[in-house]
Amino acid sequence: MFYRQLLPRVFAVLVAMLTWAAPVYGVSSYAIVQEDGSLRISGNTYRLYGVYIPTTGQTCRNFERPPNCGTYAALALDFKIGVSFVNCEPRKHNDDGTITAYCTVNDEDLSVYLLERGWALALPDAPFEYHALEKIARNRGVGVWGLPVVPRHAH
């Protein structure tokens, strides 16, 4: 009788211990931000899940020595990451050898970080939250939504 009452409790504790594990990431390491906004981590190139990072002009952070130059999105990512570890959960292996992944720094989604600042666009299959953040950035006129449009001259 005692064992019949004890067995379900022991089983419940074991299940709880097995399911209460820290989140498993595909990679957790330092990252080098590439000019196109991708991340180079442990010899692999990671693209952020759910977003497209448009090509923008280059700018430089002249307060650093040597000055750090790159696209606006790449500089924003580099600033956010700093010296922190990046955690990436792979979602898809792409034909070009890159990996699309959900990446975070200090538990903050890097795709969300770029979307809020207007440096990324939500892809059609991205979560609803990403599309909402893109619309907010567009309405606020930040990032790519605030850059001046240079008209093309007819030749």
Read off the pLDDT of residues 39-87 as tens digits, 9 standing for 90 and up.
999 999 999 999 999 877 666 655 555 555 667 888 899 999 999 999 9
Q: What is the pTM (predicted TM-score) of this model?
A: 0.74
Tokens of 63: 């307060």
pLDDT at 4 (0 to 100): 56
Please state, in angstroms and rounded to a whole number, the distance separating the CA atoms of residues 139 and 145: 8
Architecture of domain 24-141: Beta Barrel (2.40)
Identify which has the larger pLDDT, 14 or 39: 39
State the burial class of residue 153 (Cβ atoms within 10 Å of its Cβ: 0-12, 13-18, 19+).
exposed
